[in-house]
A and B are shown apart, each in its own frame.
Chain A
Amino acid sequence: MSFTHKHILGIEQLAKEDIQLILDTADSFKEINSRDIKKVPTLRGKTIINAFFEASTRTRLSFEIAGKRLSADTVNISGSTSSVVKGETLEDTAKNIEAMAPDIIVIRHAHSGAPHYLAERVGCSVVNAGDGAHEHPSQALLDLLTMREHKGDIEGLEVAIVGDITHSRVARSDIYALTRMGARVRVCGPGTMLPIGIERLGNVEVFTDMREAIKDADVVMMLRIQMERQSNVMIPSLREYARFYGLNPTNLQLAKPDAIVMHPGPMNRGVEISSVVADGPQNVILDQVENGVAVRMALLYLVSGVESMQTR
């Protein structure tokens, strides 16, 4: 099985075998992160540009570390300090970046579809690090790697995703990835945060009562209430949201006793997740962060392999 995707724009385009290969590759790379010398020469001489036009700590850091551990040269540009603030269009920015001959552009953008737009206009590989409310493929892949490590197999898992499903690119990518790997997904949130027609994505069940949604679940994934975005108009108050859709030690007991608790971060402690649960024995939140580096190493390695096959 060889990987043929030059760009990683979303999970939607990936087949089950692709996801499997990415997870296996990440699994092999993971060992590097526990060495004293955390660097291998695999992508020596490659240039990776991390173009983050939207705020991010975890993802940008994770991609940067992933590139550096593979010996690529990573360069970061961020929206607030780039020519974007001077009114340059994304296309012009992209053309200018391309003139400096990078091998991979990792892009985070507030607008859905920006990575696709870029991929059509540049010659190098494009990796989506989150675009608007569309997809966040590397997050979904690190979630799957974490589930696989804790649960053995993803097929047959009952995964509850609770929060603002409509505006969550993490939820969308996770739903694609999980259903493709044979898990059953339950999405849950107040009616204002559930997109119409989401059940059509496949093995997805919709709940508005959180207790039903997490009952006997293997995985409970809490999404962040995006206070900086539209969340405040869709819920009456954070207190009310926390009461009905927050994960706490009491409602967590409804899930399977060995259920794992996940959160893509950054967490709003006391809103979607109580501190007791966030720091509790079932949380695997920092495993997710750790696996993020390995998954991103795998993505960078795999897309750059496709690139070199084409130019040969």
Chain B
Amino acid sequence: MAKAQTAILDKAGIKRAITRIAHEILEYNKGSEKLVLIGIRTGGDHLARLLQSRISEIEGVEVPLGSVDITMYRDDLAARGNLPIGKTDIPFPLDDKHVVLVDDVLYTGRTIRSAMDALMDFGRPSTIQLAVLIDRGHRELPIRADYVGRNVPTAREEDVAVVFDEKKSPFEVRLIKP
């Protein structure tokens, strides 16, 4: 039986959220100096790319963009067995940078914990900030997002999926009921 799915954010809504987050990032950091974007694979890296192009439209500056695969840093690797290891691509130093970590959905916070551990292995950023498209609650660690596209109250049994098209551009956010 197919699971019941409800669209909770459409393409235009996603675009508006990204635009707002881009403005908030620039406002909080007083511009784009020393700013870098790191997307968490896979999903966050596509959103980070969108944020980068929005920031460049606003400021006329292309901020450095990287991606991180957190599999190597997971806290449940032993229980999960063989997860495929994806590529991490951070071709610039993070020392003294304002790093904005980007993910699609914030849930338990464990992914973010893993990603922060990974970033620390690449240097010592001045700050790490977190931008997510959806915050669905149910944190298991003391982690919060600095920039949120939409807060979506969910039940644990539910799932939230950001759907991307073939060009890796997000076109819908769905709430999936069990």
- A residues touching B (Cβ–Cβ < 8 Å)? 2-3, 21, 24-25, 27-29, 31-32, 35-37, 39-42, 70, 298, 301-302, 305-306, 308-309, 312
Contacts and interface: CB of A to CB of B under 8 A. Distances in A.
10 contacts: A28-B69, A28-B88, A29-B85, A37-B121, A40-B72, A41-B73, A70-B72, A298-B85, A305-B82, A309-B82
A24 B71 CA distance: 14
B178 interface: no
B81 A305 contact: yes
B41 to A, nearest CB: 10
Contact of B77 (A21, A39, A42, A298): A42
A32 B85 CA distance: 12
A39 B122 CA distance: 11
Contacts of A35: 121-122
| A-B pairs with lowest CB-CB distance, top 4 | A305-B82, A309-B81, A28-B85, A40-B72
Q: Which of A29, A32, A41 has the most CB of B within 10 A?
A: A41
Contacts of A298: 85
B72 A41 contact: yes
A298 B72 CA distance: 11
Contact of B87 (A2, A28, A42, A309): A28
Contact of A39 (B79, B83, B88, B121): B121
B81 A42 contact: no
B73 A40 contact: yes
A147 to B, nearest CB: 20
Contacts, number: 54
Contacts of A70: 72
B81 A25 contact: no
Nearest to A24: B84
Nearest to A71: B72
B81 A308 contact: yes
Nearest to A46: B78
Contacts of A305: 77, 81-83
Contacts of B83: 305
B33 interface: no
Interface string B83-112: 111111100000000000000000000000
Given A35-B121, A36-B123, A37-B121, A42 B84 contact: no
B117 interface: yes
Given A42-B73, A309-B81, 10 more contacts: A21-B84, A24-B84, A28-B86, A31-B89, A35-B121, A35-B122, A40-B72, A42-B72, A308-B79, A309-B82
B125 to A, nearest CB: 14
A2 B79 CA distance: 15
A32 B87 CA distance: 10
Given A28-B69, A42-B77, A306 B121 contact: no
B121 A25 contact: no
Contacts of A42: 71-73, 77
Interface string B112-153: 000001100111000000000000000000000000000000
A35 B122 CA distance: 7
Contacts of A21: 84
A2 B73 contact: no
A1 to B, nearest CB: 8
Given A31-B89, A37-B121, A41-B117, A25 B84 contact: yes
Nearest to A309: B81
Nearest to B78: A308
Contacts of B73: 40-42
A309 B76 CA distance: 12
Contacts of A31: 87-89
Contacts of A309: 81-82
A246 to B, nearest CB: 40
A301 B123 CA distance: 25
A94 to B, nearest CB: 24
Contacts of B88: 28, 31
Nearest to B77: A42
A301 B79 CA distance: 13
Contacts of A29: 85
Contact of B82 (A27, A37, A41, A302): A302
Contacts of B117: 41
A87 to B, nearest CB: 38
A302 B84 CA distance: 9
Contacts of A306: 81-82
Contacts of B121: 35, 37, 39-40
